[in-house]
Amino acid sequence: MAIKRRDFLKIGGGLSLSLPLYTCISDKSYNSTSKSNWLAGVEQWVPSVCQACPGGCGIMVRVIDDRAVKIEGNPLHPLNKGKVCPKGQAGLQLLYSPERVRGPLKKVGDRNEERWETISWDEALNTVSTKLQQLRESGKSHTVAFAGKNQQNTTDELVSRFFEVYGSPNFFKFDEWAALKNAYFVSQGIYDLMAVDLKNSRLILSFGANFLSNWPNVMENQRIYGEKRAEGDLKIIQIEPRFSIEASRADKWIPINRGSEGLLALGIASVLIKERLFNQAFVERFTSQFNEFRSFILQNISLDQVSEMTGVPLSSIIEIAKEFHTRHPAVAVSDFNLSYSANSLFNILAVHSLNALAGNIDSPGGFLRQRQAPVTELPPVTLDSVAKKALSEEEHWGTTESDLPLRSKNTKDMIDSMVNKSPYGINCLFLSSPGYQFVSYIQKKKAEILGSIPFIVSFSPFMDETSSLADLILPDTTFYEKWQDHHSSPLSKIPIVGISKPVIQPLYQSRPLESTLLTLARTMGEDFAQNFPWSDYKELLLYRMKGLFRAKKGSIFSSSYEEAQLRILEERGWWTPQHNSEDAFIKDLLEKGGWQDPSYHFNERSFVYQNNSQRFVFVSSFEIEDVGSNESQENEDYPLRLFLFDLPFTSSDSSSKNMPWYQENLGFRFGILWKIWVEVNPETAGALGIRDKDIVWVESPQGRIKAVARIFPGIGPEIVGMPLNKTEHPLASKGETDINDPLHLLEETYDERTGIPDRMSTRVKIYKARGR
Amino acid sequence: MKKLRKPKKLGLVLVGLTLVVSVFLLVILIDSWGGITQPLPFNHKIHTDNGLACEDCHPNFMEYASSGRPELEICASCHEEALTESEEEKRLMEYIQDGNEIDWVRLYRIPEDVYFSHRRHVAVGNVECAVCHGDIVESTRPPSKVRKISMEKCMDCHEDQEANNDCIACHR
Amino acid sequence: MDNKSDDYSKVEEDLLRPITQTGRDFYVTVAILLAIISVGVFAWIIQLREGLGVTGLNRPIFWGFYITNFVFFIGISHAGTLISAILRLANAEWRRAITRSAEVITVLVLFFGVLNIINDLGRPDRLLYTIFHGEFRSPLLWDVVSISIYFICSSIYLFLPLIPDIALMRDKFKGTRKGKIYRILALGWKGTEKQWKILGRAISLMAVLVIPIAVSVHTVVSYVFAMTIQPMWHSTIFGPYFVTGAIFSGIAALLIAMVIIRKSCHLQAYLKPVHFNNLGLLLLVMSLLWFYFTFTENLTSFYGAEPSHLAVFYAKLTGQYAPYFWVMVFLCFILPVAVLSNRKTRTISGIFLVSCGVIVGMWLERYTIVLPTLINPRLPIERGTYTPTWVELAITAACFAAFILLYILFVKAFPIVSIWEIKEGKEVGVEETAERVKSYLPDTVFEKKSGGLGANEINSPSKRENDHE
Amino acid sequence: MRKWGMVIDLDRCTGCQACVVACKAENNVVFSDPTQEETHRAISWMSVLTVLEGEYPDVKESYIPRPCMHCENPPCVKVCPVGATYKNPEGIVAQVYTRCIGCRYCTNNCPYTLKYFNYYRPRWSNEMKNLLNPDVSKRQVGVVEKCSFCHHRLQKAKEDARFEKRELREEDYVPACVQTCPTGALIFGDLQNPKSEVHRLSKISRAFRLLEELGTEPQVFYLTEGEWHG
């Protein structure tokens, strides 16, 4: 009996030992003896442009046998000079994301469900084309709308041209910089961004500006930061409620009550004015309404009050003001962060007035205005009567009535008017990566949108929130697979045009949006098609690029030495052609990756001030109450204020969800890879009995989400900070990641002037969650 | 009872043992099988006799890590029309007519953790093809076995040639 | 003579009873153990398939249960051979009934020590690289060498004294299949004068040889830690500290085994309270010695107050690992000293309790050596935590179960108390001891009382002595 | 012989993580998932450590990019029982995955805790297998890995130099992290070459090394104006 057992044990043991050992030893998947991996091993470096963010850095992609393997910076590109940010580095994960849509999809069954059927491109295009023609024939072309992202390229031109010819005024782009643009429009008559000459500036007075992490020209700023830190000739003062990356790199961090940045700026202005520390010559020559501004300041601004309302000590205000004057040239910068509060326009105008006081506009180390790259304009469109009539229809969102000349189109109004069918209902909506803010808003309104818009087409290359709305998906390629140009953000002082070549052929059955539109245009009838005479998008692109050759300015990307020479020559009015024909120019352009004009011409008054007076206009028509308006109602139930901040390189788009390499590093300061965290001041945490790394609920009247509490001395005792655009799963799909999106906590309040959502005034409470 | 039991027990042991042994044998067998048949019985000799050089069909070995397999285009450039009446060529012509790439099977297999570069060996190190590939140019039929290259051979040659013998020079 | 052979047949009967008779309890125990083992094997298969991801190990806690088990089992292995060898060389007569049960522990437990190391490897299939590509500067390779030698030596050391008993069983089970195996194992032992002489010499030689090897084994095990530059591992006293701990836990393991054998095999007549008393006292001494080392080790770290050392120190004494640490101090020092230093509580059950405590405590000691250092690496930015998964627990439990099972099977196959040594004890030992004791005393004692104390013994020579002359 | 080394200017670093991601992309390091976060098993050869000091509102934070230190006297090499990790003549502490038995002794003896262990087979989706760098191995389960100074780039650079019949120039070989660093905080080169930038910077008064007192002699130097409390 006993022996029998033993035998059994032996056999069983023998078997159980040998099998797992075998499975372990023969690690099949890692011994590449499979027969199909015969690679030619041909290696190429393809110059292109990264469009993972609005920056448009030059990249070189290493391609081995039609596989894109690694991204490096294009050393000749003047913006990034061979460097790439983490998002750009992770870009290939976007290209090879498992979430890519493989081909045109049609929604079947209930619109609320996501059941898809694969269809052919012919069928898909046919469906869209028929729909568009029907609407046009019945005189409803204006009820077609397009929502896309704000980008500086020819695609933008093509899309707006398409809808103009088609006859729809409803071409919407979400722009997070709108508040800033409005402010420059008010003060200088330019509805655009101004460039900041950080390179020559000796003091950066930053009002919550994420110039090292979230500006489109981050790479330029990072490089300048590195160089100037090495030289030691840079001082940064960061004024922000939270100890951000910029604050941690600044020489001084000044915490401030949220939303009162403008007031602090006025406080500083009052010191400058009272102590006569401003640039009188500039103010006299280039500004208007200064006297009103001065009397407004002198009458209304008391430093004690400013100090109390902003939470910044009096001594600090005076110190900043003096430093701002002495460390000339100094710039006061702000960005879209200030626009996410109910008094955004005031804040930005107040900050910008400091630059006028210091005379830092159109001067080295100050605010400059980028010249547009001289690409060929598209030929004028010929509109038929349908289009002409439709274009006279009211746009689907009106600008809010205001005492100031504003030009903003806002998400909220657009979606609300679509949902409410006022002034008219939208019959067909096209969505093409409309941006994070937009996406989060349409998600909230998903049911209403589905209820009021009968036909929605998404161009998204990924299965995401927009595709969940769509009835039809016409998958766009990623930017790695198509021809594209990219014009540098107006935040850089020099115009750069980068050429993005397809790095590999489009994967799966995806097609570039541009060629989809050109194909559609051809199906819309002779009259329509004659406005789009290009056989493919590449042809259109090169047509535009030829303007760069004809303009007799700038040069194709070249070494920094050549670039410096060119700049010196050009600024003295000389220019020598480097290419003897257009073809040679285009060939070189595609090889080097783009064109730039390194020269900058100062003192072109009419270019910098485009308002009637050709002067900087001081605005003083603010109520002081307006200024401190951010003080939302104290609420015992919700004692803390929620501070939402953008993580580095995440602003304005949701594509980063598909980049796990990049996403996992966003929480590096808090030792977090995937979880959403909430930053709590040690004092607050102590009072609430919350320990570091506890799992807590963050609850606002709108709902609650789970997060990891991190005790963080870099945030004030009455605030809790939470990151935006952080996913919790490496390969985000099916809305998994949205459960904990802090945007769900926001109350629906908006800046009345610009319609930009206010993410500063929501109050929350936090408490420990049970379990994990 | 006892007498009956004994052989049963023995049998059980034997069955168990044979099972274990056969599993291992099977594993070894499968692993070392490696018999390959090329889609076409390519005759290297005929081609080299007709004046073709290695790089005519394997175009990449001076420049890239991989030597490159002969693509259909290369075949088609000579075999525009059938040059002989051989059975093999007929089949090749079918490939060419259909435009199907010939799925040549790899002969030399290097473990996944080794980085081997033809360029490094041929263009930089001036190693003759024959040093590794033997007299394949003289062969009239494709070899039927996968060639595994042993580390000893690499090391010996590297030592003789005073090439880099650092592990990370080859192990990636 | 008849009387004597009756005695011996009684001894033989007593000592062979576990082999000849099998009760229900045996099967129940074996079944339970097999169940535990099979869970462990299942866990192990999973681990082999999936990799070490199924354990609780992480970064920077790269070592956990398995390494703790390894150190622990190697420690236990000192029970046997070292104690038996020392007692043999010291001619301690009370050793006779316990040496074998001690030696078996060594051989069996060493196997599980090694198994745990293999288990801990990320690539167990590359185990033999340590031989083909061994780099001798690594303390891990010193381990491989010293443990292999120790395993071989202690196996021989176990086997040699077993030969006469195997021969006895060969005769007893002649004709059966069992007998055949015993015949092979007996190596043709006939009990001739020459054979006894060679055996005696071989045993003594092995006893001498085994002691330094045993000491070296645990010293080298400690070197695995001591040779690193990690806080509270890099310590000069780790060698003796580990050896002390090893002997300490070894004695405890031996005591537990003895108590169980005594009870289950009804060997009360052979394993007497005096054995327990003696070993108990030894255990007490080791406990004190162990405490001395522990105290020194921790005080040095504390007093030196290097931040990286202090972090580990506090993790142990007040932090995350404090519960383990203080339980360990209680089980390895307070309880043993309290129980063992008192004659009244130094009973068999008292000693059993203490021994169990020491075993647990010493396992915890290894645990609190391995982990607090790992959760507190030198760079203060990286911190970790460790919770073992069921896989580790199952494999650990299976190791213990398999060890017990093998031990039981050994008891089933061979006499756990050496028969010939008991016989020898009666025949030679008694006289020798008397002679020895006599030699300790001043000669004058014997002059006054001629024919006193040992005279009778000397005059009644044993059978073997007769053969000698 | 050359001695490759790195200088990291902490005053320039903005903690942007470009080096971290570049490293992963170059070296086929698989991304983590939430389970790995839970179990502390994520692999990141280059990581940016942060040190936060002070109390609100006087807070200071340092970012410390940490690759492998490639010590002159590497504690990990000493303890490897099979020679899977060794110091190569050019100063790179190398790791040979096919030799490694996964005992993790080296990971425990690294005072910088910068060696990583593959607890799983790397989980690449089929799509993402396309972006794997053929110059670097796909990782096996159960072996230790760490920063290699992108040594495959060195081999390539040498190959190119010999192909072009010239000497290897210092700038021919840069690890992926250094190549991408937007602020120029990472500088790489030959520490033995008296003309090189790294050589110069490693000697200036701002230079220090991590845990210098251990005598491991890291070949990664840090620069900072302020004091770093490590």
Q: CB burial class (10 A; 0-12, 13-18, 19+) of residue D210?
A: buried
Question: Under the phi-then-psi rule, with left for phi > 0, alpha for psi from -120 to 50, and beta for the rest, what region is C210?
Answer: alpha
- Report CB contact under 8 Å: D111, C57: no
Compute the count of residue pairs across chains C and D with CB atoms less than 8 Å apart.
Answer: 138
Give the CATH architecture of domain A105-176+384-476+511-532: 3-Layer(aba) Sandwich (3.40)
Residue from C286, C295, C297 nearest C247 by CA: C286
Please report which confidence band the pLDDT of residue A474 belongs to, taking 50, 70 and 90 as the band edges: very high
Contact A644, A743 (CB under 8 A): yes
Q: Which two tokens stand for residue A391?
A: 């274009």
Task: Indicate yes or no: CB of B17 within 8 angstroms of CB of A8.
Answer: no
Q: Could you tell me which of D185, D225, D201 has the C-alpha nearest to residue A227?
A: D185
Q: Where are the domains of chain B?
A: 44-69+104-170
Dist CA C254 CA C257 (whole Å):
5
Instruction: Scan residues 257-286 of C and list those with Cβ closer than 8 Å to A.
Output: none
User: Mutate which of B62, B158, B171 to test chain D, going by most D C-beta atoms within 10 A?
Assistant: B171
Q: Which of D151, D66, D78 is nearest to D113 (CA)?
A: D66
Q: What is the pLDDT of residues A612-634, one digit of tens each?
A: 888 998 888 776 555 554 455 66
CA distances from B104 to B95, B107, B108 (A): 12, 9, 12
Contact A25 C125 (CB under 8 A): yes
Rounded Cα distance between D81 and D103, Å, is 9
Separation of alpha carbons A721 and A726, rounded Å: 13
Is D39 touching C (CB cutoff 8 A)? Answer: yes
CB contact under 8 A, D108 and C228: yes
Report which of D164, D136, D170 is spatially closest to residue D3, judged by C-alpha positions: D170
Q: What is the CA radius of gyration of chain C?
A: 24
How does pLDDT run across A222-232, given as a tens digit for each residue?
Answer: 999 999 988 88
Output the pLDDT for position B72: 81
Residue in chain A closest to B18 (alpha carbons) equals A11
Neighbouring residues of C384: CB distance < 8 A, sequence distance ≥ 6:
C58, C59, C60, C61, C374, C375, D40
**How many whole angstroms separate alpha carbon A323 and alpha carbon A506?**
54
Q: Which residues in chain A have Cβ-Cβ distances shorter than 8 Å to B12?
A: 4, 7-8, 11
In which band, very low, low, confident or very high, does the pLDDT at A725 lie, cut at 50, 70 and 90? Answer: confident
pLDDT level of residue A2 (50, 70, 90 thresholds): very low
Rounded to whole angstroms, how far apart are CA atoms A362 and A352?
13
Q: pLDDT confidence of C252, banded at 50, 70, 90?
A: very high
Extract the tokens encoding D52.
């936060």
Say whether pLDDT at D86 is over 90.
Answer: yes
Q: Which of A405-409, A694-698, C67-71 has the lowest mean pLDDT?
A: A405-409
Mean pLDDT of A306-329: 91
Q: Which of A573-577, D53-57, D223-227 has the highest mean pLDDT?
A: D53-57
**Nearest CB to B168 within list D94, D134, D140:** D94
Q: Which residues pair with D9 in a beta bridge?
A: D223
Which of C30, C44, C124 is facing A5, going by the closest CB pair? C30
Q: Average per-residue pLDDT in chain C?
A: 86
Residue A325 predicted with pLDDT over 50: yes
Q: Answer whether D96 sits within 8 Å of B169, measured CB to CB.
A: no
C228 — contact with chain D (CB < 8 Å)? yes
pLDDT, residue A400, reads 47
**Cβ contact (<8 Å) for B123 and D163?**
yes
Q: Which residue among B112, B115, B166 places its CB closest to the CB of D152?
A: B115
Q: Is the pLDDT of residue A753 over 70?
A: no
pLDDT tens sequence across A287-310: 988 999 999 888 888 899 889 888
Contact D96 B168 (CB under 8 A): yes
The pLDDT value given to residue A11: 47
Q: Which candidate from C22, C27, C48 shows the least CB-CB separation from A24? A: C48
Residues of chain D positioned with their CB less than 8 A from the CB of B171: 96-98, 137
Structure tokens belonging to residue B157: 């040659």
Residue of A30, A212, A231 to mutate, testing the D interface (most D Cβ within 10 Å of its Cβ): A30
Q: Do A668 and D22 touch (CB under 8 A)?
A: no
Q: Which of D16, D52, D128 sits opposite A93 (nearest CB)?
A: D128
**Mean pLDDT score of chain D, rounded to an integer?**
90
The mean per-residue pLDDT over the stretch A168-175 comes to 80
Interface of D with B (CB under 8 A): 86, 88-89, 92, 94, 96-99, 134-138, 140, 148, 151-152, 155, 159, 162-163
> Taking 50 as the threshold, does the pLDDT of residue C460 lie above it?
no
Conformation bin of residue D40: beta by default, left when phi > 0, alpha when psi is -120 to 50? left
**CA atoms of B89 and B74, how far apart (whole Å):** 14
Task: Give yes or no for A2 touching B (CB within 8 A).
Answer: no
Q: Which of A27, A80, A96 should be substituted to probe chain D, the one whose Cβ sees the most D Cβ atoms within 10 Å?
A: A96
Grade residue A681 by pLDDT with cuts at 50, 70 and 90. Answer: very high
Cβ <8 Å between C58 and D113: no
Residues C320-335 pLDDT 10s = 899 999 999 999 999 9
User: What's the mean pLDDT in C69-90?
Assistant: 86
For chain A, percent of residues with pLDDT exceeding 70:
87
Question: Could you read off the pLDDT of C279-331 as tens digits, one per residue?
Answer: 899 999 999 999 999 999 999 999 988 888 998 999 999 988 999 999 999 99
Residue type, B79: H
- Identify the band that residue A12 occupies on the pLDDT scale cut at 50, 70 and 90: very low
Q: What are the boundaries of each domain within chain C?
A: 15-416, 418-469
CA nearest C140 in D: which residue? D81
pLDDT tens readout for residues B40-97: 888 888 888 888 888 888 888 888 888 877 778 888 888 877 777 788 788 888 888 8
Looking at CATH, the fold of the domain delimited by A195-368 is given as Dimethylsulfoxide Reductase; domain 2 (3.40.228)
pLDDT at position A196 = 92
Which residues, other chains included, contact A160 with Cβ-Cβ below 8 Å and sequence gap of 6+? A171
Extract the tokens encoding A737.
């990641």
The predicted pLDDT at position A654 comes to: 60
Q: What is the C-alpha separation between C376 and A654, in angstroms, rounded?
A: 38
**Count of Cβ atoms closer than 10 Å to residue C262 Cβ:** 22
Query: Residue A12's closest chain B neighbor by CA?
Result: B16
Q: Render A144-204 in DSSP notation, one character per residue.
A: EEEEEE---SHHHHHHHHHHHHHT---EEEE-TTHHHHHHHHHHHS--S--EE-GGG-SEE
Residue A581 above 80 pLDDT? yes
Query: Over 70: is that where the pLDDT of A235 sits?
Result: yes
Taking an 8 Å cut-off on Cβ atoms, the answer to whether B9 and A14 are in contact is no
Indicate the range of A39-43, A333-337, A444-448 predicted with least confidence. A39-43
pLDDT at C464 over 50: no
What is the interface size between A and C, counted as CB pairs within 8 Å? 27
Could you tell me which chain A residue has the CA closest to the CA of B118?
A41
Is residue A746's pLDDT more than 90?
Answer: no
Q: Which residue of D has its CA nearest to B121?
A: D159
Q: Hey, what are A202's tokens?
A: 């000796």
Distances (CA, A) of D72 to A16, A760, B164, B167, C32: 45, 52, 21, 18, 54
Which of A1, A13, A23 shows the shortest C-beta gap to C48? A23
State the pairing for strand pair A67-73/A58-64. antiparallel
Q: One-letter amino acid identity for B18?
A: T
Domain A43-95 CATH superfamily: ADC-like domains (2.20.25.90)
Among A42, A254, A661, A676, most D C-beta atoms within 10 A, so best to mutate, is A661
Residue, of A27 and A510, whose pLDDT is higher: A510
Q: Does domain D4-223 have CATH number 3.30.70.20?
A: yes
Rounded-to-integer distance, Cα B46 and Cα A505, Å: 38
Q: Convert the pLDDT of each residue in A142-162 to its tens digit.
A: 888 888 877 778 888 898 889
CB-nearest partner of D56 from A86, A248, A716: A716
Residue A483's SS3 state is coil
> What's domain C15-416's architecture?
Up-down Bundle (1.20)
For residue A684, give how far its alpha carbon lies from the nearest alpha carbon of chain C (Å). Answer: 24
Residue C232 has pLDDT above 60, yes or no: yes
Percent of chain A with pLDDT over 90: 30
Looking at residue A752, what is its pLDDT? 65
| DSSP 8-state secondary structure symbol assigned to residue C347 | S
Residue A242 has pLDDT above 70, yes or no: yes
Q: Domain limits of chain D?
A: 4-223
Domain spanning A629-768 has what CATH number?
2.40.40.20
Interface of A with C in 434-473 (CB under 8 A): none
What is the rounded distance in angstroms from the CA atom of residue D157 to the CA atom of residue D153? 6
- Is the pLDDT at C267 greater than 50, yes or no? yes
Q: Does A734 have pLDDT greater than 60?
A: no
List CB contacts (< 8 A) between A67 and chain B. Answer: none
Please give the C-alpha separations between residue A416 and each of A140, A448, A450, in angstroms, as whole numbers.
20, 9, 13
Kindly report, residue by residue over A379-413, the tens digit of the pLDDT: 888 888 878 887 777 666 554 445 555 555 566 67
* Residue-wise burial string across A599-625, b where 16 or more C-beta atoms lie within 10 A, e elsewhere: bbeeeeeeebbbbeeebbbbbbebebe
Q: Which residues contact A474 (CB under 8 A, 6 or more apart)?
A: A104, A124, A125, A128, A457, A458, A459, A511, A513, A516
